[in-house]
């Protein structure tokens, strides 16, 4: 087992190191903890998958009518060209520059973005990808809540 070292912190910014403990056999233990002692359990991957490449348009990812109890976005990898967004709301975005909808992920000048943690959409909210030129790719796993 490797000893955990103290991590110095800057005022207002607490760096967090991840510590994995190994069993005597060298296998990682079932549970891991970060430097603050918080449990870091594995998170489930979504049971539903959406993936594809889309060009200069608005494409529905999750239909608001199907989202009757809420949805959890588990993983998302998004590569957009020029300006592209992955946005949510009760009605579709009008385009990539629509500022009236909450943006989940955005891409400027062919950048890659990914969700850093799961995101919950309220019941009745949908999800759309919008691009204003070129093509964007989205790889998403999610669950509709029962």
CB of 104 closer than 8 Å to CB of 61: no
Q: What is the pTM of this model?
A: 0.68
Is 100:49 a contact under the CB 8 Å cutoff? Answer: no
Q: What share of residues in the chain are helix, strand, coil (percent, to 5)?
A: 0, 45, 55
Q: Which pLDDT value is given to residue 68?
A: 95
Mean pLDDT of each 10-residue bin along the chain, 146 residues long: 46 48 52 55 75 83 94 87 86 88 80 85 93 83 92
Cα dihedral across residues 133, 95, 86, 144: positive or negative:
negative
Q: In terms of CATH architecture, what is 48-144?
A: Sandwich (2.60)
Domain boundaries, the chain: 1-42, 48-144
Distance (Å, whole) CA 26 – CA 1: 8
């Amino acid at each position: 087992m490797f000893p955990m070292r103290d991590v110095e912190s800057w005022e207002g910014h607490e760096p967090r190191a991840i510590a994995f403990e190994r069993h005597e056999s060298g296998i990682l233990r079932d549970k891991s903890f970060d430097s603050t002692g918080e449990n870091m359990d594995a998170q489930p991957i979504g049971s539903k998958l959406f993936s594809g490449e889309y060009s200069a348009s608005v494409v529905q990812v999750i239909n608001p009518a199907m989202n009757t109890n809420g949805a959890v976005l588990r993983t998302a990898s998004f590569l957009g060209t020029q300006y592209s967004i992955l946005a949510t709301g009760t009605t579709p975005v009008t385009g990539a520059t629509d500022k009236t909808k909450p943006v989940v992920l955005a891409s400027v000048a062919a950048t890659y973005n990914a969700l850093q943690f799961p995101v919950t959409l309220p019941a009745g909210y949908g999800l759309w990808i919008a691009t204003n030129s070129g093509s964007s790719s989205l790889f998403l796993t999610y669950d509709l809540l029962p």
